[in-house]
Structure 1
Amino acid sequence: MRVVVTRPEISAAKTAERLRLLGHDPVLLPLSKAMHHPQVATDALALPHSALIVTSAEALRALANTDYSSEIGRNIQLFAVGEKTATAANAAGFGNIHIGAGNGTGLADLIASTLDKPDLPLLYLAGKPRAGSLEGRLEELGLPVRVAEIYEMIPVEYPPEEFYERLRTRPPQAVLLYSRENALRFFEIVERHALSFTETKILCISTRTADAVPAAFRAHLRIAESPDENALLALL
């Protein structure tokens, strides 16, 4: 099956390898790329905090560009949204890691059940854009949180002929969509270039992502059972 992978380049390459092992033909079409803000991270980490929160491996990559020294511990408690983010945190040297079930609200509930009410704020090493469900839920639970936007995802622009080469010459049988922003960007491009995907499987990692799919493309829309790539690839 010819499958379009819309993740950023580093992650897309890993997904492409998984797809090849499953016998599929991946088409890499990263729709965004990360811009890191190391000074924001450095300034945020210099302030007192009780624990760290990360919801993307990209936050760990952004952290690698700072002077965040090894003696900070890596003993500090770190709350990761899911297994892949936890794996990245472990590779970055963190050892005291708590793993959530894959979404911001659930991660906030895990934090509340793990920590006594901290005197110092939690430090959320966040990206932009994001859903905001994590910090909203933490506020509901009365947990102090400080958000540091240490990276942002910016659009990747392609010339029209490149889209035609990748998507029209050999139309894909499936498209993998990983976030609401990812989906909005993909269908904006589809509309702009008058591409036809009415028979293509639109595979979404979450309900929030699926909500951004236009009605004209929902006949073949499917949503992963859990918000992770394993469940997403199981839809193929």
Structure 2
Amino acid sequence: MRLLVTRPEPAAGATARRLMALGHEVIVDPMLRIVDTGAPLPGGPLHAIAFTSVNGVEALARHQDRATLPALPTFAVGRRTAAAAQTAGFTDVTDCAGDVATLAAALSRLPPGSRVLHAAGAERAGDLEGALAPHGVTLVLAVLYSSVPADALDPATVDALAAGRLDAVLHYSPRTAQAVLRAVDGANVSGPFRNLRHLCLSQAVAAPLLAFGARAEVAERPEEDALLTLL
């Protein structure tokens, strides 16, 4: 198949390599750019770390004040995020194998009074703080990165859409889906884009595409392995 990948780098490149190894043709056109905020880490004692994305792992790993953090119990939303945390040097990593709800369930079992650092982006899904509060666990938010939408599609993507040289596009986040919809509108290729197969990591990702009138297919689990089975 001829596929479009719009997630941010470096994740886009990793996905493209997986797809090409499976025999697909791939165009990579990231619709978001990840930038560090430079925000300081919160003060006070910390008893654990929560990661809801690979971007959060990488932003915390780059932070100048991370020195004592890798030894803390670390909870990751899913397999890929857990693997990234281990690669970044976090030594006690739990893969919560799901979504924000499964992450919250694991964190809720920490002792009451625990303070959990959430290394997060400026845009977040779910209410992790609210889910933990009844259990006496405090989520301490550190907004370490933000995502900047691309101004436009790459000319190669526009040409491929206009010429009918794409079959499907993979969508990993609502924000990326919204960014690519704005970009295809600006390039006047909404019609060809709408006619592609749209493979989505979750129902939340699919929502803006369904509103656009696209054929959105949703993975059984919010993991890349499940997304790729839709191919």
What TM-score do the two structures reach when normalised by structure 2? 0.90
Q: 1:232 aligns with which of 223, 227, 231?
A: 227
**Cα distance, 1:68–1:159 mapped onto 2, change above 3 Å:** same
Q: 1:64 aligns with which of 61, 76, 101?
A: 61
Unaligned runs of 5+ in 2: none
Match of residue 46 from structure 2: 49
**Cα distance, 1:93–1:155 mapped onto 2, change above 3 Å:** same
The answer to whether 1:138 aligns with 2:136 is no
**Cα distance, 1:64–1:110 mapped onto 2, change above 3 Å:** closer
Match of residue 101 from structure 1: 97
Aligned mates of 2:105, 2:188 — CA distance in 1: 43
Q: What is the alpha-carbon root mean square deviation over aligned residues?
A: 2.0
Residues 82 and 95, structure 2, Cα contact 8 Å, conserved in 1: yes
**Cα distance, 1:163–1:21 mapped onto 2, change above 3 Å:** closer
Q: 2:201 aligns with which of 199, 205, 229?
A: 205
User: Could you say what secondary structure the match of 1:87 adopts?
Assistant: helix
The answer to whether 1:150 aligns with 2:150 is no
Aligned mates of 1:104, 1:19 — CA distance in 2: 27
Match of residue 183 from structure 2: 189
Worse-superposed segment, 61-70 or 127-136: 61-70
Aligned mates of 1:66, 1:22 — CA distance in 2: 36
Match of residue 12 from structure 2: 12
State the shift of 1:120 in Å.
4.1
Unaligned runs of 5+ in 1: none
Worse-superposed segment, 201-210 or 99-108: 99-108
Residues 210 and 223, structure 1, Cα contact 8 Å, conserved in 2: yes
After the TM superposition, which parts of structure 1 deviate over 6 Å for at least 4 consecutive aligned residues? none
Aligned mates of 1:24, 1:76 — CA distance in 2: 40
Q: Deviations over 1:10-60 (max 9, x none)?
A: 11101001011111101101000111134x2x432x532111111111122
Q: Deviations over 1:101-137 (max 9, x none)?
A: 2211110011113x121x3421111112111332232
Residues 223 and 232, structure 1, Cα contact 8 Å, conserved in 2: yes
Residues 128 and 139, structure 2, Cα contact 8 Å, conserved in 1: no
Equivalent pairs: percent with the same residue? Answer: 33
Q: How many residues align?
A: 229
Residues 53 and 81, structure 2, Cα contact 8 Å, conserved in 1: yes
State the shift of 1:145 in Å.
1.1
Aligned mates of 2:132, 2:160 — CA distance in 1: 42
User: Could you say what secondary structure the match of 2:71 adopts?
Assistant: coil
Match of residue 168 from structure 1: 162
State the shift of 1:95 in Å.
1.2
Q: What is the identity, as a one-letter code, of the residue corresponding to 1:82?
A: G
Aligned mates of 1:235, 1:121 — CA distance in 2: 39
